[in-house]
Chains A and B, each alone.
Chain A
Amino acid sequence: MFEIIGERINGMFLDIREAIVNKDPKNVRNWAVKQAECGAYWLDINTGPVASKEEQVEIMAWLVKCAQEAVDLPCAIDTTNWAAMEAGLKVHKGKALINSATAEQAKMDVLFPMAAKYEASIVALAMNEKGVPKSADDRCALAMELLANADGYGISPVDLYIDPLVLPVNVAQEHGPESLEALRQIKLLSNPSPKTTIGLSNISQKAPNRPLINRTYLAMAMCVGLDSAIMDAEDADLVDTAATASIIMNQTIYCDSYIKIFRQR
């Protein structure tokens, strides 16, 4: 089943930032409900860049609580602040998603044990301190390091969401096919295979007609093994594309109302 990670509860957006500042949960709840209705499986929660590192800890816990009071969905706790990460995990109900680790040893050694402790799934980016790899092979080598390390901490591959990294097509066009090839190869690294995810909207940064680029890439990526994406759940055409690709890939049983059913899962 394809998993949409709804990207909208992020302090980068003005309405969420206001909610945080005013301690008013209304907007957070609204976005939780709206994204759930649109078919989101996870709610990404990001405090945004405004607050200080110390404040983020409390804000993350508050956002997770607000979101989960509104809907019965798990959250993707999206921060580079490890204290905020742990605060979010502590109040989270059900299986959370840690967003995200990279193949840097220092990060893996903190976040994988945290995932194991809280029985959370974890997004892991196929990059390290040297930056984003260029070829599919290099991405896979990093994916393998993530997988081997996760395995060492007792994390099942099915709880590991490897992100081969998607770059904007207008400035890093040659990465497009490499990311797709990496997705295909990542699914062959272990049995059961790790899950895969991407930050979908990256593909169309600063390009015209972003929705078209996003949904085209989503269909192509699902064809080579994409299991989830951090994306705009409000983009109806995009969600329709995910529903349709999931039908064509024989992941869900076809019915005439499959587009509606996809959002009701």
Chain B
Amino acid sequence: MGLTGLEIFKQLPKTNCKECGQPTCLAFAMQLAAGKAGLDACPYVSAAAREALDSASAPPVALVKIGVGEKAFELGNETVLFRHDKRFEHPTGIAIQVSDKMSADEVKAKVAKINKLVFDRVGQTHEVNLVAVVNDSGDAAKFADTAKLVQENTAYPLLLISSNAGAMEKALDVAGANKPVVYAADASNYEAMVALAKKFEAPLVVKGDNLDSLADLVAKVTALGYKNLILDSGARELAKVIADQTQIRRQALKLFRPFGYPTIAFANNADPIVESLNASTFVAKYAGIVVMTTAEPEYILSVITLRLNVYTDPQKPIAVESKIYELLNPGPDAPVLITTNFSLSYFCVAGDTEASRVPSYVVTVDTDGISVLTAWAAGKFTPESIADTVKKLGVMEKVNHNKIIIPGGVAVLSGKTAELTGCEVIVGPRESAGIPSFFKQRWLNQ
């Protein structure tokens, strides 16, 4: 992302001295924007301007790495406000918090629960990302002990929450090597917090009281030479968090550097349903990390599923798993329908089949998630691929007949498919909307 001519011009000295070889500063800015000149040609450009112009080539939202080892993850590098414009890059990290007021047994029990928040969605494993340790006790030793205990019981990176630099130092002495998130540098403690974060090279949350104070504080922190940051505008009320998250992302994309970092948001609520809804909102609205209190799987699963959906790449077709889908508890005499694993194709077929009230098996051939006719044209929906799938999944072993139904759009495949599968191939309707009447006329009355 290059700078525009106007942005460069605003940083130039506007002397029109011609020493750069251009007639005016404006002309020089145009040359820079077009990549036809270097900034070094201007002897009068200030250090601040040079820094601003250099940093412009950096991505709008910095990449921040959290943790070490297998459970380490990345945030940032986002480039859009809306996922349909391109895609969201790095899924929101979900943190579950434990308090240092809890007893050692309570901490262990909750961490054990957190460790089990691993879910299987469409054939992939999805899990939470962080355990947050909160210094509710105000006691530095307790905080460090809890951090140590949590670290010993989980592989997830930690999020250390204390505004007390002394307590943070103690906790970092036990957990700092694993690059935990340090929460948070505020106006009162930022010098000490920056020094600690620097020492352990850990990502540091900068917390303001509002957007203005956040921008000021980030400028102070970056002036100290630390840029491994995460932002907290201090907002806690839902509407305010959405507004602030939106502003931070929007300004970052306009290359407002103080907001060019991932964010953290707190979904905390005594009611776990509200907490789950808050977390979902923040996942949709740009949060880098969402902190929750509940470790009950029913409240986490919905957030994880939403995160998976929001962060899928809209430019890639969405595929369902290639497998046998059993609709309405089919028995051995149920029909077997063949389609592709494009999610839209599958859900159309599944929806219309369910509407027919006829229990059925739907088999999705892996076509890399493209539709029936597209896959046919691309040579991915062929008698061979259908036969392979039918055999591999063993669907004919579930039924007492020897018939498979293929989409009407690929009727030409029926002969060869019959040959390769050894099945009787029935050509279904062109549109899945025709499935209910097709069943009535061709399946139930046979």
Contacts and interface: CB of A to CB of B under 8 A. Distances in A.
**Which of B4, B254, B255: most chain A CB closer than 10 A?**
B4
Interface string B27-66: 1011001000000000000000000000000000000000
Contact of B9 (A144, A157, A188, A191): A144
B33 A148 contact: no
| Interface size band for B | 10 to 19
B30 A151 contact: no
Nearest to B255: A191
B7 interface: yes
Interface string A134-151: 000000110011011001
B26 interface: yes
B26 A189 contact: no
A148 to B, nearest CB: 6
Interface in B221-260: 254-255
Given A144-B9, A148-B9, A188 B26 contact: no
B4 A190 contact: yes
A148 B30 contact: no
Contacts of B9: 144, 148
The range of chain A's interface size is 10 to 19
B30 A191 contact: no
A144 B254 contact: no
A188 B5 CA distance: 8
A144 B7 contact: no
8 A-B pairs with the lowest CB-CB distances in the bound complex, closest first: A190-B6, A190-B4, A189-B5, A191-B4, A144-B5, A144-B30, A147-B6, A144-B26
A36 to B, nearest CB: 32
Contact of B4 (A141, A145, A189): A189
Nearest to A151: B6
A141 B6 contact: no
Interface string B329-347: 0000000000000000000
Given A144-B5, A144-B6, A193-B4, 17 more contacts: A140-B30, A141-B26, A141-B27, A141-B30, A144-B26, A144-B29, A144-B30, A145-B26, A148-B26, A151-B6, A188-B33, A189-B5, A189-B6, A190-B4, A190-B5, A191-B4, A191-B7
Interface in A201-256: none
Contacts of B254: 191
Contacts of A148: 6, 9, 26
A240 B224 CA distance: 59
A228 B4 CA distance: 22
Contacts of A189: 4-6, 33
A96 B203 CA distance: 50
A242 to B, nearest CB: 24
Q: Taking each of A147, A157, A191, which has the highest tally of chain B beta carbons within 10 Å of its own beta carbon?
A: A191
A141 B29 CA distance: 10
B128 to A, nearest CB: 37
A142 to B, nearest CB: 10
Nearest to B254: A191
A190 B4 CA distance: 5
26 contacts: A140-B30, A141-B27, A141-B30, A144-B5, A144-B9, A144-B26, A144-B29, A145-B26, A148-B6, A148-B9, A148-B26, A151-B6, A151-B10, A157-B6, A188-B4, A188-B5, A189-B5, A189-B6, A189-B33, A190-B4, A190-B5, A190-B6, A190-B7, A191-B4, A191-B7, A193-B4
Which of B7, B26, B29, B254 has most A Cβ within 10 Å? B26
Contacts of A144: 5-6, 9, 26, 29-30
Nearest to A194: B6
